[in-house]
Amino acid sequence: MTPLIPGNLRTTAMAILPPRQVETALELALSLDIPFWPQLPHVSFYEDMYVQAAEHFPGILLFPEENRIRFDTAKFFEGLPELLDRWEDLEYFDLTPQYSVVYHRFLEMDLSGYIAIRGQLEGPVSFGLKILDENDRPIIFNDEVRGIMMDFMARRAQAQLVRLKEKHPRAFMFIDEPGLQFIFSSVSGYPDTRAKEDLDRFFAQIDRPRGIHLCGNPDWEFLLNRDIDILSMDIYTNGEVFSCYGPAVRRFLDRGGVLAWGLVPTGFEDFNKETQDHLMAYLEGLWPILFKAGIERDQMLAQSLLAPATCCLINPDQEKTVARAYAWLRELSLRLREKYKLD
């Protein structure tokens, strides 16, 4: 199947960036082959990924001065009729300028010269596990709320994707799901069988291309079996584990899926102990394990992107290490594409 997302080891990244200036962050994002609109929690409370996802969701209570977000069940039911009245108005579900100055600045730019562009939204599983109600209980455990939340988040993702596709025909979406690494624990209380049903319901309402990004270490076969077009992961930390899932990776690629290999660390300590040569050798050392599962090298390269390993907001040098990591990412992409003669 022909991939819907360009690969050939081009570059993209996850959205959260440390700069406190919008233009600095956009410059970083636009330096990659597939740019994105950055999320800048150091700029504003409303640029936080959970706050952005919560806009217009009934029952949400925001406390900007405390950097806190909560949920009130009674207010949810009070606000639900208004949400349902606006359900067919897709624009209602898109981000407003209050919740992302950066998104709207990105949409004002001429992005036609890029091979693709990308957006993102916090995923429903992570959102549902993170947001607590008046009883300090994650809202994902409320059966009366969870279904509406899944559909609401799907409307939000669809609204953004439609808007981005108006800017570029090859736009696609990352759904950020850091919480997925926790659901496979016996103490999570939210089983992977329920997560499967919920995510399948969620993605069925969003146009392609769409996929999942997370930096943790979940059950990779669970993710590779979802109906997604791209999987973005921290391969720097989880490479040895991920490479053990060869048959599932092969099925994913045969369906046209694209892998975004999160290779370059952005944390100050990890970055400063690395070299480009070592990172390149590390990545290339993982691939033969997958080739043994019957994956053709040319197919995998054609359906692969390179990315930073993780986001990072807490470096002592603020955005300097992240900017250096982006420079390395671009250089490693050029080196690998030249080595393997990729367009």
Collapsed DSSP state (helix, strand, coil) of residue 83:
helix
Long-range contacts of 57-64 (CB under 8 A, 24+ apart): 57/83, 57/149, 57/152, 58/82, 58/83, 59/145, 60/131
Predicted confidence (pLDDT) per residue in 89-148, tens digit: 999 999 999 999 999 999 999 999 999 999 999 999 999 999 999 999 999 999 999 999
Q: Hey, where are the domains in the chain?
A: 10-339
CA distance 206 to 210: 8
CATH code matching the domain that covers 10-339, chosen among 3.40.605.10, 1.10.1530.10, 3.40.50.300, 3.20.20.210: 3.20.20.210
Predicted confidence (pLDDT) per residue in 269-317, tens digit: 999 999 999 999 999 999 999 999 999 999 999 999 999 999 888 888 8
Predicted confidence (pLDDT) per residue in 142-175, tens digit: 999 999 999 999 999 999 999 999 999 999 999 9
Burial class (CB in 10 A: 0-12, 13-18, 19+), 23: exposed
Residues contacting residue 191 through CB under 8 Å, at least 6 positions apart: 183
